[in-house]
Amino acid sequence: MILDNISIINFKNIAEIQISLSQGINCFVGDNGAGKTNILDAVHYLAAARSMHTLTDSQCIRHGEESFLVDGRFRRDDERKEQVVCAYAKRGGKTLKRNGKEYDKLSEHIGCVPLVVVSPADTALISDSAEERRRYLNRFISQIDRTYLQALIRYNAALQERNKLLKMSPAEDMLLIYDNMLAASAEVIFTRRKEMIATMQPLVEHYYALLSEERETICLEYRSEMEHTPLLEQLLNARQRDFVNEHTTCGPHRDDMVLSIGDYPLRKFGSQGQQKSFLVALKLAEYTILAERCSERPILLLDDLFDKLDMRRVAQLLKLVGGDDFGQIFITDCNKHRLERTLGEAGVEYQLFNIAQGSATTL
């Protein structure tokens, strides 16, 4: 998937910008706060209809304005053209259009523009709670698996209802209806997550070895109580506890993806460099799986490239993503010379854009 052109209006510090992009590596350079990440976030809106950060739509409107709009002209790998427009107005809400037609539900768009982001915020995957890792898995798997997405939507709806009910001392048979609903969708969620993590494992290992030139064994592991006990049985066993807590204390909304290095938890025992290489390897594994399942090379956003890796590893990464297996890439860095030197070292072609105060000039 190639984004040939993007127009952005009143999005964060960008008043109005139109950029014609290269189908290979696009680099945005400029000072801190210039608006480099904001451009990547606008691209993210075209894929996911939301910010890649924990920002609400209205926080993305340029201060003092009423609405923003992002318009992307894409070209699929088979040369078919696509237009995606995402707009948000304080009064009218959010609209997402593909080729002029508005979606009824935003979730219908998921997977249409495959995209992988590597950003400084990824460290939350290591440092934060299991919720962050579940959110990551959910977003990733939903991009390629409609059945998963639908099971997740059904599960969350049933969970909400069950939790509401628990607060009202309900009849047991009423609860059982929800238990059955949860168990059915949980089975899909559990199986697909388990499969996906097993598929990712060798890929993450492969990319980690390429990037780090180190030999530690790394491991991704899905941790779920459903491994031992079917959810329906767990729910019955936990019923009294659930009444006391007034919410559902078991199920895939409590699962985790455990990351470890040399048999120890990555968070506690991985060095900074090891943690960052692990995260990049994880994202590259995601890229490879998405590319295969969508039969379309995803767009890759590498925000603040040098935040993650030193120069030698960045050069290693650029050599890798500059190859034919990868498609269009967006890179940001605040140091133009460092980036150019490393790109030169990797021997890859690129287009450079200078970003200052929310506007772009080609270099």
Ligand X SMILES: Nc1ncnc2c1ncn2[C@@H]1O[C@H](COP(=O)(O)OP(=O)(O)OP(=O)(O)O)[C@@H](O)[C@H]1O
Which of the choices Mg ion, ligand X, none does residue 322 contact, using the CB cut-off of 5 to 8 A by kind?
none
CB of 332 to ligand X, least distance (A): 6
Per-residue x/- marks for ligand X, 55-94, CB under 6 A? ----x-xxx-------------------------------
Tokens 């949980």 label which residue?
186
Per-residue x/- marks for ligand X, 33-52, CB under 6 A? xxxxxx--------------
Q: Is 13 in the site for ligand X (CB under 6 A)?
A: yes
Angle at 89 between CA 85 and CA 92, to 5 degrees: 100
Could you tell me the end-to-end alpha-carbon distance of the chain, in angstroms, rounded to an integer? 24
> Judged by CB, which is closer to ligand X: 17, or 175?
17
The residues near 55 (Cβ < 8 Å, ≥ 6 apart) are none
Q: Is 337 in the site for ligand X (CB under 6 A)?
A: no
CB of 41 to Mg ion, least distance (A): 9
Query: In 250-333, at which residue ranges do the beta strands (DSSP E only) sit?
Result: 256-261, 264-265, 299-302, 329-333
Tokens 């498609």 label which residue?
327
CB of 117 to Mg ion, least distance (A): 12
The answer to whether 10 and 69 are in contact (CB under 8 A) is yes
Binding residues for Mg ion (CB under 5 A): 37
> Judged by CB, which is closer to ligand X: 81, or 90?
90
> Judged by CB, which is closer to Mg ion: 37, or 143?
37
Q: CB neighbours (10 Å) of residue 235?
A: 24
Q: Which residues pair with 85 in a beta bridge?
A: 71, 97
Which of the choices ligand X, Mg ion, none does residue 344 contact, using the CB cut-off of 5 to 8 A by kind?
none
CB of 303 to Mg ion, least distance (A): 6
> Judged by CB, which is closer to ligand X: 163, or 359?
359
Q: CB neighbours (10 Å) of residue 270?
A: 21
Number of H helices, E strands in the chain: 12, 15
Q: What residue ranges bind ligand X (CB under 6 A)?
A: 12-13, 30, 32-38, 59, 61-63, 304, 332, 334
